[in-house]
Amino acid sequence: MFLQTSSPLRTKKTQAIGIPVIDLSLDPSTLSHHIIAACQDYGFFKLVNHGVPNRVISKMEEAVHGFFSKPASEKVKVKANPPSPFGYGCRNIGFNGDVGELEYILLQANSLSTGSETLNVVANQPTNFRCAVDDYIQAVKGLTSGLLEILALGLSLPDTSTFSRLIQDANSDSCFRVNHYPGIKPESNQPKPAHRIGFGEHSDPQIFTILRSNDVPGLQISTVDGLWIPVTTEPTDFCVFVGDVLEVLTNGRFKSVRHRVMANMSNRSRTSMMYFAAPSLNEWISPIPQMISPGNLRLYKSFTWNEYKKAAYSLRLGDQRIDHFKCDLSTIVIFNIRRTTRTHIHIIKEQEQHKIGSRKARKSRSGMKLGYEIHDLENHENHDLENQKNNKNSYHDLENHVPAFHGGEGGDRWGKAADGGGKRRAVGKAASGALGGGGGCS
């Protein structure tokens, strides 16, 4: 069936461009440089040697295949009931008239905030389904936390948990979604691929999205000038998308990427699994101070995730939701004046205190000048040494903290940490299980 898109289809031609492919087994310093460049230039990158065991991925794929292979009469037993979005859905994307050529299942990803809707969905599935989902969510949540800490390190933030703490919060609003795009029958008379959309153009509202799909094509990302780039994926790769919240936190330095999925023109089904990393509903979102300066004015207002989420889902899929939370020109000027005024006052006070102390210690102007120069030089050298020490310690601590950095795919340390029968990596307070199960699932 041909389905109209929710917004006019941009027809600027697609073009194959080298999409960033990042190897997670690189050292943290090099890794942070590559990830930051990808987030700035594309808002997207592919991840290899991520360390998530193939066993965890395969079990999740088997569970997904089993669910979508059920008769429609079975799947609708766990359908989403508005206003709750959680459960099974077919064709409808949200509640505002957007449609696509797919079916899906949406679950909450945090055990401590899991509502009855999600519990009802998984309770109606075999035990292996619940265990597969739980193990997979824990693995990708740990991976996401590590990536966010690498980002914080690369941005020279004093606290590397600035971003990761948002999804490690016990009340994180993260969710997990699986999309299934059925293959076409050979005898069907379908419209040309260029005119069919499986899932319309949009950006993700959360912080990060971690996507894993099979090798059936369809995913496309958009460059800033509107060029669509087809994304080829390998079954062992992950795709990482910058979301709206991360764009706000970095004051626009990272851009949330607009993407879409073309209708499946293969006779094989396309399946994609997405972990949407989100803060708690009451978390305040605003540009972090390190991203604002006289040369980088504040671009976004402050808001809670709940406010943004409600606004985002009240709009159509293809709308530029983040634009509704940008500062207007007068607000930007006021923010900048306040910040500049505080900075100038602080500098003037320091200068006056420095002059008073220097006059007492030195009577001659030449001696005063020499004293200034020696004092400033010593402070500069001490500051540089301290920065070097802190950076070295940060890389060392982060390397020890994130098991994925110690090996490639299926690496020993990560494999043990992600193994449901062994010791799992603690991810905040939510390490007890993404869906309340866990322990002996693997």
- Active site (catalytic) residues: 270
The region, left, alpha or beta by phi > 0 then psi within -120 to 50, assigned to residue 293 is beta
User: How does DSSP classify residue 156?
Assistant: T
CA-based nearest residue to 434, from 148, 139, 147: 139
Identify each DSSP E strand in 167-251 by its residue range.
Answer: 175-181, 197-202, 208-213, 219-222, 228-230, 238-242
Q: Apex CA 97: angle with CA 95 and CA 102, to 5°?
A: 85
Q: How far apart are CA 31 and CA 36, in angstroms?
A: 9
Length of the chain measured in residues: 442
Burial label for 72, CB within 10 Å (0-12, 13-18, 19+), is exposed
Angle between helix axes 54-68 and 127-154 (nearest 10 degrees) is 130
Q: How far apart are CA 163 and CA 227, in angstroms?
A: 30
What is the separation, in whole angstroms, between the first and last Cα of the chain? 40
* Chain position carrying tokens 């990482």: 240
Identify each DSSP E strand in 24-142 by its residue range.
Answer: 44-48, 87-93, 98-108
Q: Would you say 136 and 15 are in contact if contact means Cβ atoms under 8 Å apart?
A: no
CA-based nearest residue to 160, from 342, 384, 396: 396
Q: Tell me whether the omega of the peptide bond preceding residue 193 falls within 30 degrees of 0, making it cis.
A: no
Q: Would you say 252 and 299 are in contact if contact means Cβ atoms under 8 Å apart?
A: yes
* Chain position carrying tokens 């098991």: 403
Q: How far apart are CA 296 and CA 289, in angstroms?
A: 11
Q: Would you say 278 and 206 are in contact if contact means Cβ atoms under 8 Å apart?
A: yes
Backbone angles phi, psi at 274, to 5 degrees: -125, 130
Distance of CA 200 to the CA centre of its chain: 19
- The greatest distance separating any two alpha carbons of the chain, rounded to the nearest whole angstrom, comes to 97
